[in-house]
Amino acid sequence: MESLLAHLARKERSRLKVSRIEVSENPRLAEKLGVEEVPTLVLVKDRRPVARLEGRVSAPQIERMLAPYLAPEHAPAAA
């Protein structure tokens, strides 16, 4: 999942911040986010978890999860 997220972080850098949390180093945060399985991808918006994927996932699964929450990219203005 790490390489998928690295790619996504580059692709969506203007609309998304990707952070990796080590569960063993941040057990309180993991508990707060409801992480019970590793790997878990938690989408946080306005400081609240709004979506999650657990276990091994594909790029299309991640993109489908994110789609409803990402603001549309603005197209360049026509000259």
> What CATH number does the domain containing 51 carry?
3.40.30.10
How confident is the model at residue 72, as a pLDDT? 73
Structural domain harbouring 61: 2-66
Q: Is 77 part of any domain?
A: no
In a domain, 25, yes or no: yes
pTM of the model: 0.80
Asked if residue 45 has pLDDT above 60, the reply is: yes
Q: Is residue 7 part of a domain?
A: yes
Q: How many domains does the chain have?
A: 1
Tally: H helices and E strands in the chain: 3, 2
Give the mean pLDDT of 43-59.
93
Cis ω on the peptide bond leading into residue 39 (within 30° of 0)?
yes
Percent of the chain whose pLDDT exceeds 90: 65
